[in-house]
A = this chain, B = another copy of it.
Amino acid sequence: MKGAQSIDKILAGDPRAVARAISVVEDGAAGAAGLMKAVFPHTGRGLVVGVTGSPGAGKSSLVDKLAGLYRSRGERVGIVAVDPSSPFSGGAILGDRIRMQALGLDPGVFIRSMATRGNLGGLARATVDAVAILDAAGYQKVVVETVGVGQDEVEIVKTADCSVVVLVPGMGDDIQAIKAGIMEIGDVFVINKADRDGVLRTEKELEALLSLAHRPDMWSPPIVKTVATENKGIEELAAAVESYRDFQKSAPGTHGRRGAVARWRILELLRERLLAQALERDGARGRLEALAQEVADKRRDPYSAVEELMGGTHN
């Protein structure tokens, strides 16, 4: 399939072309450049919802139920799940299999798990590219879901049009610290498993912390209580997401946010391309392996190893 044909098929929403395109962006930024340049002008039509929260918060169930609601409204839904914690094992594949059972083989839903491949990075960049491809392919709703609260995960969720942070009642002593960390990320907060003990206390704590937070756009993030496994609160969640989107269209603070997201995307991509360029030079990979061995044997420190690699690539 030629590039131009491939783009036409993506824009027509052909799931195979979309899947192939996501594989291209997963494989590396160099190969993705032509594709993404063609895709980019067609993005910005769908609503991208970012969902994050701790493992065990029930994010996957929540995302599946939200996708089901969007489907019942006749919208096509793309789901991109980031599973960076399992670089070697079948975590991502396992996740896909479980979800396929829940959402069936509905052709209006596209599900893709992203996992790291080695340690050359690029997962965050590839994820954001995958979201852009689904957006361009006419999926009206694209949900990007990240496990955990790591740095990349936070950045990915920030790129969404609306970021949803999922909590559960009674998360224990760490809750203050967690909340402090996610306070700037959430446009909408969900307390899932809201049939459990402690939901009122969690809600009060969250309200107190939100009242202290200062947002440049003056938005007050709503708190939605859900029981995803029983499909409770999903309509309210969808409404909260829509209300943030409506607010955002007229709010003055969003231009700065878009600029920060764009800056982050450029830096992610630049980092990846610079590293790839450095390692493409003749003999660079061999030198890297030899230097890694020297560092492992404590015959050399990592800093002088890097200076040698950089000297070798720039002189």
A residues adjacent to B (C-beta < 8 A):
29, 32-33, 36-37, 40-41, 43-44, 54-61, 83-91, 94-95, 98, 116, 119-121, 123, 147-155, 168, 171-178, 180-184, 193, 255, 258-267, 269-271, 273-275, 277-278, 288-289, 291-298, 301-307, 309-310
Q: What is the total number of copies of this protein in its complex?
A: 2
Interface contacts beyond A29-B303, A150-B153: sample of 12 additional A-B pairs, CB < 8 Å, sorted by A: A36-B302, A44-B298, A54-B148, A56-B173, A58-B173, A59-B174, A86-B180, A148-B150, A152-B152, A262-B302, A266-B305, A269-B306
- The smallest C-beta distance from A28 to any residue of chain B, in angstroms, reads 12
Instruction: Indicate if the CB atoms of A265 and B56 lie closer than 8 Å.
Output: no
Chain B residues in 8 Å Cβ range of A269: 302-303, 306
Majority secondary structure, A binding face: helix
- The smallest C-beta distance from A51 to any residue of chain B, in angstroms, reads 13
Instruction: Indicate if the CB atoms of B265 and A295 lie closer than 8 Å.
Output: yes
Instruction: Indicate if the CB atoms of B85 and A181 lie closer than 8 Å.
Output: yes
Contact of A151 among B91, B116, B271, B307 (CB under 8 A): B116
Instruction: Indicate if the CB atoms of A175 and B301 lie closer than 8 Å.
Output: no
Contact of A174 among B56, B173, B309 (CB under 8 A): B56
C-alpha gap A258/B292 in the complex (Å): 9
Chain B residues in 8 Å Cβ range of A123: 151
Instruction: Indicate if the CB atoms of B177 and A295 lie closer than 8 Å.
Output: no
Chain B residue, CB-CB nearest to A172: B56
